[in-house]
Every structure is written in structure tokens, then in C-alpha cells.
Amino acid sequence: MNTSDFSRFKKDPDPQFADQLYERITSRKSMIARLNAILREPSSLLRAGLLLVTAIVIVAACARQLFAPRNIQIGSMWLHEMSEDAVCGEDIVYPNYTPSGPMPTPQHSHPVPTMISLNEFMERAPYKIEIPTWAPEGFVLYPEVVVTYRAEGTPIEWRNSNVGVISLWTSPSSFWPRGREIRAAYGSWEEVSVNGAPAIMVRGTCMYSAFSSFTGRSESEYLSLHWSRNGTEYTLISISSDIDPDTLIHMAESAR
């Protein structure tokens, strides 16, 4: 072999390889330039727009699912967790309902409340009602009740010398065949117990419209305790900010 000229072993690069390599390396653009090119191209812009809309829809659906009202069963009750505004929404009213009368079909209306004595109410009630035998200092059992024709029943009240009110609402469990629904805003409730039975404690600043007729205020701070016992549904509501949850539970557990 003639070794004086090693150049004969050289080989020219394939022309197609050479052209493609040059084209490839010189067509590379900066990220910004690529992005601009994408945005300028109509089909790419449309594609990007569709992807963005799809992403927004998916995120909105997930957010809706995440913050959708939840139903949680606690004992025989159903806690319906929702936004604070929803808790302050319209209430269901049952017209022509008296403690001894038949259960009417739910309708949305607001009849005029009727006042009767506590004794008459206790005699006419078609279901067993256990009344707390203990109340916080300063609160006195009111001798009259107001029949409000509401699904929660007729309230029995304890009042103090200020505008503080503690109301006991009762209704037969048979009135709620699928379990009584308690509405509470996110994070405003906790599960507690009354004499060992599951109960729900709710703290809020929005009230059902019926309460405002007693306090004269459209909104008040309230603490409500809900439980079931011996075929009767109970709700003890304090509209005075002086009552703490343990006091309310103690009052509820004194019911006989």
C-alpha cells in the first residue's frame, strides 16, 4: 500500500446529510421566536385556544366538584354542608300545622304565627318532648309558645333580661323518613354527643328568617345543637353570644 498519501482514504460527507444538517442547525430558533411563530400561525393559535378553553372547563368542573355541597350522615341526621350564603336561603314552611294536627305537604309560604301556652302545647303534642331541666343563669323558661308552622316544630324558649334567647325546637322523627337535614356552612360545624348520642354543633352568623321575628335582627350570631332521642328530633339554639358549646350541651343533656 502506498502510504505517502493517506488522503485517498478520505470521504466526502453524503450531500443529503450535509444539506439536512445545515438546514436543521440554522433553522433552530430561540424559544421566544418559536413561541411567536406559534402564535402567528392561525391553526396553532386556534389549537392553543381550544386547549386553553378545555383546561379552564376541566379546572372549573373540578373546583365545582370540590366545593359542591356535601351530605354527611351523623346518627339519624344528615348534615348538608354548603356555602354560607346558601344557609341563609329560603326555608321550607308547613302551613296549617298545629301540634295535634295532621302533617301537611311542604310548601313555601309564611303564615302568621299563633301563640298558645306551653302547657297546652305539651298536652297537644302528638309526640314525646323532653324539656331541659337546667338552663344557664339568668335564663327563664317562657310560659308561652309560638306555633310557627315550620318543619322544625314549635320553639320552647328560655329568655334572659337582655335579648338573649335559647330556643328548643322539636319534631317527630317520623316527619323525616330519610333523616333530618341540618344545613351548615363549610367549617362551621362539628360532631359532638348528647348523652352519648351523636349530635351536631353549628356556629354561624346567619339565621333562618323565622328567628328574626323574635330578635328583631335579620342576622345574629347563633349556636345550635341538633340531636335525636326516643323518636323526637331536637334543636337547641342559642342566639346569645354568651353561651358556649359546653353549656349548650349541658342544657341539652338535662332534658327529661
Instruction: Return residues touching another protein (CB under 8 A).
Output: 1-4, 6-14, 17-18, 21-22, 24-26, 28
DSSP-derived secondary structure letter, 255: B
Closer residue to another protein, CB minimum distance, 29 or 70: 29
Residue 27 CB, nearest distance to another protein (Å)? Answer: 10
DSSP-derived secondary structure letter, 140: E
Residue 16 CB, nearest distance to another protein (Å)? Answer: 11
Nearest CA to 154 out of 134, 181, 127 is that of: 127
Residue 185 CB, nearest distance to another protein (Å)? Answer: 58
The whole-angstrom separation of Cα 14 and Cα 45 is 38
CA distances from 247 to 36, 219, 220, 239, 252 (A): 67, 22, 19, 13, 9
Closer residue to another protein, CB minimum distance, 26 or 162: 26
Closer residue to another protein, CB minimum distance, 16 or 65: 16
- Single-letter amino acid, residue 101: G
State the chain's maximal CA–CA distance in angstroms: 130
Residue 23 CB, nearest distance to another protein (Å)? Answer: 11
- Residue written as grid cell 485517498: 8
Residue 25 CB, nearest distance to another protein (Å)? Answer: 4
The whole-angstrom separation of Cα 93 and Cα 91 is 6
Degrees, nearest 5: CA angle 186-188-191: 105
Closer residue to another protein, CB minimum distance, 30 or 161: 30
Closer residue to another protein, CB minimum distance, 6 or 115: 6
192 touches 201 (CB < 8 A): yes
Residue 32 CB, nearest distance to another protein (Å)? Answer: 15
Closer residue to another protein, CB minimum distance, 32 or 112: 32
The whole-angstrom separation of Cα 3 and Cα 23 is 37
- Residue written as grid cell 358556649: 244
Ranges of H-type helices in the chain: 15-26, 31-40, 42-66, 84-87, 118-124, 209-215, 245-253
C-alpha cell of 28?
A: 433552530
Residue 37 CB, nearest distance to another protein (Å)? Answer: 17
Closer residue to another protein, CB minimum distance, 21 or 39: 21
